[in-house]
Structure 1
Amino acid sequence: MTSATTFAAAESEGADGPISLPAALSVAAPAKLSARPRENLVHSLHDEVLARLRDFIVEGNLDPGARVPERLLCDRFGISRTPLREALKVLASEGLIDLLPNRGARVRRIGEREIVELFDVMGGLEALAGRLACERITDEAYAEIERLHHEMYGCYLRRDLHGYFACNQAIHDRIVQAADNAPLSATYTSFAGRLRRARYSANLDANRDRWGEAMREHEEILDALRRRAGAELSDILFRHLRNKRKAAADREAAAPVPSEIAAGESA
């Protein structure tokens, strides 16, 4: 049974008619218990739709500036428009899409200059996170990053970009978490969503093996973190983001401009 079907089934539960006062009293406690699984189903459906929609956009299935085809996505994911639109609100808060008043949503198009500036900010944030992480990371946290690194390498060998990118982002997130600095984490999160699609597409650079370069840079990242070499890791992370920004900016500049945006720009 799919999540959508399960959710629909959960919605139809509890449809019995009115009950007498004694019966109501006798079933009060079980009613509270049954509400929790239903609540979990709602959250599970929301999280699943959000993750699938985020991946769909990040992995370039819609061009920058393109309208989000709600009906087609509802059919693809087997859901109604309500959970889809809730997910779109979250992605808008992450900076992946723009919500258009009474006109749906559009994949956010980031200009070449903005990409360069955002990557420089992210490079600075990750550089600071790396330095702090080397001072504060626990052996358990390092072991988890090492595990993710080996899993990512396996995805790279299989040319599984979807799996590779998931592990890659988890590694960067874990380094920021290991820095144990709440303002840094909040600032990083506010920028990370806006660059998620650009970071993914940078691995597809046809002019050079950017994916291979990134994998080699991650070997350096892991080694510096293992040695708790804060200054060295800081420099590696900043360079890692600098190298990625060139490929991302080139791909963004080469992306086709939707006709309605082009018409608006030329008006």
Structure 2
Amino acid sequence: MIQEGELAPGEQIVETGLCETFGVSRTPMREALKVLASEGLVELRPRRTPIVAPVDPDEIAAIFEVMEGLEALAGRRAAENASPADIAELEGMHAAMVAQHDRGDRADYAIRNREIHARVVELAGNPVLKTTYANLSAKIHRARATTNYDAVRWVESVQEHERIMGAFRSGTPRDVADALVDHTRRTGVSVIATLLRVRDRPA
């Protein structure tokens, strides 16, 4: 619910309501909130209702900077490791994602987009990269869920994915890495700009 933006940053978390929603008692719910707090998703406040942690644009900017390096490594290694069958699989996923864009299906597009990036990371064959990428990607996904839809950026993102796939088809590992880094950098600029607008909006 937090990751998908169903609970907004700063929103109070009513334990009794969540217990009813998930069919659990308050003890496991409180333990779950402690875990979410350790992941930076929830703020536990003494003698006060927990709230959804705000999204910090500065933290997201720092995460995107790190993600550029991870995407570069993932792209380079994946291009070196990918078989023709792996590239065909990515092609199929990409085609499905483009079709979702053409239908205006933003929710399924976002899911497929994350699956493509995760598959590239998996093809890189580095378990440390995979774990680190998954953790940071989850924070970016939450930040994006709190921002408004940008139609222009959506079109640009599809075009950038076309370039990534073109690099997988006929480019070098460096070409794949460069395409992924460029895509990540542009996405970061868009997400952070939106977060700053939301933060600076008069109450």
**TM-score in terms of structure 2 length:** 0.82
- Which residue, out of 130, 135, 138, partners 1:193? 138
> Which residue is 1:111 aligned to?
56
CA contact (8 A) 1:134 1:225 kept: yes
Deviation track 1:90-113 (CA, whole Å, cap 9, x = no partner) reads: 655655x12515656433323222
> Which residue is 2:116 aligned to?
171
Residue type of the alignment partner of 1:211: W
- Which residue, out of 64, 83, 98, partners 1:138? 83
Alpha-carbon shift at residue 143 of structure 1 (Å): 2.3
Residue type of the alignment partner of 2:23: S
- Give the 3 Å change call, closer, same or farther, for CA 190–88 of structure 1 in structure 2: same
> Which residue is 2:22 aligned to?
79
Q: When the two structures are aligned, how many residues end up with a matched partner?
A: 198
> Which residue is 2:125 aligned to?
180
Distance in 2 between residues matched to 1:236 and 1:202, nearest whole Å:
24
Distance in 2 between residues matched to 1:148 and 1:201, nearest whole Å:
26
Alpha-carbon shift at residue 209 of structure 1 (Å): 0.5
**TM-score in terms of structure 1 length:** 0.64
> Which residue is 2:195 aligned to?
252
CA contact (8 A) 1:94 1:194 kept: no
Distance in 1 between residues matched to 2:112 and 2:128, nearest whole Å:
24
Gapped runs of 5+ residues in structure 1?
1-52, 263-267
Residue type of the alignment partner of 1:188: Y
Q: Does 1:149 align with 2:94?
A: yes
- Give the 3 Å change call, closer, same or farther, for CA 114–235 of structure 1 in structure 2: same
**Residue correspondence of structure 1 range 58-73 to structure 2 within 5 A:** 58-72=3-17
CA RMSD of aligned residues (A): 2.8
Alpha-carbon shift at residue 71 of structure 1 (Å): 4.7
Distance in 2 between residues matched to 1:138 and 1:147, nearest whole Å:
14
**Residue correspondence of structure 1 range 206-225 to structure 2 within 5 A:** 209-225=152-168
Gapped runs of 5+ residues in structure 2?
none
- Give the 3 Å change call, closer, same or farther, for CA 149–202 of structure 1 in structure 2: farther
Alpha-carbon shift at residue 239 of structure 1 (Å): 1.1
Moved more, 177-186 or 220-229: 220-229
Distance in 2 between residues matched to 1:236 and 1:201, nearest whole Å:
26
Residue type of the alignment partner of 1:67: Q
Moved more, 60-69 or 189-198: 60-69
Q: SS of the counterpart of 1:255?
A: helix
- Give the 3 Å change call, closer, same or farther, for CA 140–108 of structure 1 in structure 2: farther
Residue type of the alignment partner of 1:108: A
Q: SS of the counterpart of 2:87?
A: helix
Higher relative contact order (CA 8 A, sep 6+): 2
Alpha-carbon shift at residue 116 of structure 1 (Å): 1.4
Distance in 1 between residues matched to 2:35 and 2:87, nearest whole Å:
30
Q: Does 1:128 align with 2:73?
A: yes
CA contact (8 A) 2:8 2:146 kept: no
